[in-house]
Amino acid sequence: MIKKLLAAVAFSSLLSFSAFAQDAASVIANASRAMGVGGLSSITYYGSGANFNLGQNNNANGPWPRVNLNDFRRTIDFTQPALRTTAVTLAVPVTGGAAAQNPFNQYFTPANPAWAQHLEIWTSPWGFLKGAAANDATRRAQTIDGTRYEVVTWETPQKAPSGISYRVVGYINARTNLVDKVETWVENPIFGDLMVETSYTDYRDNNGLKYPTTIVQSRAGWPTFEAQILGADANPANLSALMQPPPPPPGGAPPAGGPPPIASERLADGVYRITGGYVALAVEFDDHIFMFEPAGQNEMRSQQVMAEAKRVIPNKPIRYGVLSHHHFDHTSGLPAVVAEGVTIVTHEVNKDFFERALAQPRTLAPDAMSRSGKRAVIETVGDMRVFTDGTRTVEVHNVKGLPHADGMLVAYLPDLGIVAYADMFNLPPADNPVPSPPVVGTMVMADNLERLGLDWSRLISVHAPNPDRPITRENVLRSLNPTHPSCDRPALRERLPGCVR
């Protein structure tokens, strides 16, 4: 009797699973018919839009900065699969001045199957349905804000670094059978498993092909792409021309090779400038190491920088790691910093952002932090914070009035007259010591150093000059235009070459 009962339960479960799978298939088929996906092998659509630069916002708590995309066109060939996008950008530099017009190109082919690129194909409303039909999708019902959705989920053939498949979730409007939203996740050094959410609204029809006229893609709560679509064509006759790869960059491809080797330069007893990529500063205290900019570029680079600091200052732990600012090219190594047990020091405007971001799951690409089991310890700086052991002192100051980023920090070693900084300006070439117009960041730097009353003689830039050479007070002041307002200040005028006296 028990055996019969178990067999009946198993058979019932099999029937339920079969019905559930069939239900998912019928949902996908109905949506595909409604959207004109049957017989669709390629598509091109055009309009205008914008890209938003993830991790480069002026304030860590604000939206990603926007760059307009004019004459936008995207073409997808589902048979390869491949994607080609063209547009023209018009962007005002953060330092001010005239907007720069440049071509925008995307070209994804099977030669590079990375999900971070190909998700643009498979999270499109048509690509989502094709992927769902081919990859054993499942279905569930959900009501959101009064709208009933058929929520369809499938997993990609592509594998994340952890070995698991990426997940794609689409929300099909039960009333219209149109794809309203698609979600997936990608690995990110700051956010861990980062959701990519793309919404599709305001659909139109072109001979049976349904296409959205408003597209908004968001990551970490802010848009990273949007488009207003004027028209779309199924299976364009000029597909080969539309899919032509972009021209090579001016001057050819960048030279191949790995990152430059890590090296260190002794500036004084217990003070080292670590080079080979983004520059970091290591300072010896009585029982620990203080570092400025230990998290730049990526996890591997951060591990190398910290290893070099411990090599030149042996037998002491790294206790503090000061971030110049929150931009991701300067903080993507943070998982390694956390794993090392280093206390992160950042401006107070960034604290909540980093606490939330670094607490997210990291299942797609486990990193040093998730493997260590440690959690981020974050301390802050307002206007100023002093680190000292009674013998060696480092002051950390907030730079004010800088367009590039709120909460920018510099490190000042008063006994050596050294200031370490990032992203405010680059040392001008020797044959053009006074750029015109003057660089905004240089003016802001000079103003802040004067405001703070720092007695400085040398700067250490996170972005080393090319060719690498010392940056002195004379270099910086000479690069300022004689009409700079600092010339009106007696304290600085005497030190500023070229001021009209």
Supply the DSSP string of 117-135, one letter for each residue. Answer: HHHHHHTSHHHHHHHHHHT
pLDDT average, residue stretch 117-133? 97
Instruction: Say if residue 492's pLDDT is above 90.
Output: no
Residue 119 in this model has a pLDDT that exceeds 90: yes
Contact between 311 and 496 under an 8 Å Cβ cutoff? The reply is no
- Average pLDDT value over all residues in the chain: 90
pLDDT at 500 over 80: no
Region 93-111 average pLDDT: 82
Q: Exposed/middle/buried for 92, CB within 10 Å: 0-12, 13-18, 19+?
A: exposed
Residue 365 pLDDT > 50, yes or no? yes
pLDDT at 81: 97
**Average pLDDT for residues 190-206, to the nearest whole number?**
98
pLDDT at res. 367: 97
Convert the pLDDT of each residue in 282-315 to its tens digit. 999 999 999 999 999 999 999 999 999 999 999 9
Which pLDDT tens digit goes with each residue over 309-346? 999 999 999 999 999 999 999 999 999 999 999 999 99
pLDDT at residue 7 in the model: 44
Of the given ranges (209-213, 246-250, 353-357), which has the lowest mean pLDDT?
A: 246-250
Per-residue pLDDT, 461: 95
Q: Structural domains in the chain?
A: 24-242 (2.50.20), 269-493 (3.60.15.10)
Asked if residue 337 lies in contact with residue 306, where contact means CB atoms within 8 angstroms, the answer is yes
Q: What is the pTM assigned to this prediction?
A: 0.88
Mean pLDDT across 277-286: 97
Give Cα separations from 4 to 10, 15, 18 (angstroms). Answer: 10, 16, 21
For the chain, give the percent of residues with pLDDT over 90. Answer: 76
Pick from 234-243, 273-282, 413-422, 471-480: least confident: 471-480
Q: Which residue in 437, 428, 429, 328 sits closest to 93, CA to CA?
A: 437
Query: How many other C-beta atoms lie within 10 A of the C-beta of residue 94?
Result: 16
Model pLDDT for residues 1-23, shown as the tens digit of each residue: 444 433 443 434 343 444 444 59
| Mean of pLDDT values over 193-215 | 98
